[in-house]
Amino acid sequence: MTNAWWLNPAREIDQDSREQALARQQQLTKPTGSLGQLEAVAVELAGLQGQLNPRVDKLWIAIFAGDHGVVAEGVSAYPQEVTGQMLHNFVMGGAAISVLAKQLSAQLDVVDLGTVSPLNLPGVRHLNLGAGTANFAKAPAMTEEQLERALAGGRESVQRAKAAGTELFIGGEMGIGNTTAASALACSLLNCPAPLLVGPGTGLDAQGVQRKVQVIEQALQLHAAQSGDALGSLRTFGGFEIAALTGAYLACAQEGIVALVDGFICTVAALVAVRLNPSCRQWLFFGHRGAEPGHRHVLEALKAEPLLELGLRLGEGSGAALAVPLLRLACELHNGMATFAEAAVADRPA
């Protein structure tokens, strides 16, 4: 590819700010470690943001959408036109992520990378990469040019977020068939058998899940040469929206914006990002562990400890959005609690 910008290193963590935040946590009026994961979150945020008092008030939620040619193989419970219909729902405020974005005072950026039905929706950025991807059961999902443009589409959203002063970035996705694409991609990268990772997605019955497994297994054999190759696997099995998410996570790390990763599909995109550029890993936080069986395995591969486990399987960035209040409260506790000295409370003996 002509410009492999995704290989540029991530912004380095500010170790001084991290150490100062860790020292502050040990001085606050509580037993050390008693706030568990919230303490670690605050300390890591301080190091990443380069300030003793971290904040995640300014939130950007980007929804990337694209259709998938593999739907022709009968792997989805929903018709493909739902992708375009949901884009309209996002901008009209009727989708779950639209409600959550409003409640969280987040900027919602809706990006259509390429859907089967031609669309021209006010409030949606249409990138027109194609009428969805090709059917990866027959051929690679994307051309190199489409892949490069999809990665850039994610990066461009992050650049808009950066210009808006964003402190926390959430990527979401919409695309009928994208759990099939994400499962195949994860199988290729992790060298996992398909039955271990494949789940019902938007609601397949047992017969539908088995059909999905068979399609993925045959595609993995067809494209065996791409096994373990992050960029090759992404081009072969991924979707436009999965590639955009990958680009967004890489750009967040390079621009110095913390990214909060959503469910299975987003986590697979994060896995691709980390495989392409391991330096981006420290900029990724994980919102939840979802119900899709493959999610747990991909999280383990990333050594990720999510904030929530609520049995979610909606996507759209919704699980990550639900975790935002926890991140905000972690910051408020870190920034607002008194130290033992300030509160005139006796600390434990040294």
Active site residues: 316
Q: What is each CA distance from 283 to 34, 50, 309, in whole angstroms?
A: 24, 13, 21
- What CA–CA distance (Å, rounded) separates 42 from 108? 25
Neighbour count for residue 97 (Cβ, 10 Å): 27
DSSP per-residue string spanning 171-209: EEEE-TTHHHHHHHHHHHHHT--HHHH---TTT--HHHH
- Report the SS3 class of residue 126: strand
* Nearest C-alpha neighbor of 181 from the set 292, 296, 260: 292
* Nearest C-alpha neighbor of 171 from the set 82, 247, 76: 247
- Report the SS3 class of residue 142: coil
Torsion angle of the four alpha carbons 97, 102, 107, 112, in this order, in degrees rounded to the nearest 10: 30
**Token digits of residue 169:** 């970035």
**Token digits of residue 285:** 């936080």
* Nearest C-alpha neighbor of 232 from the set 262, 189, 191: 189
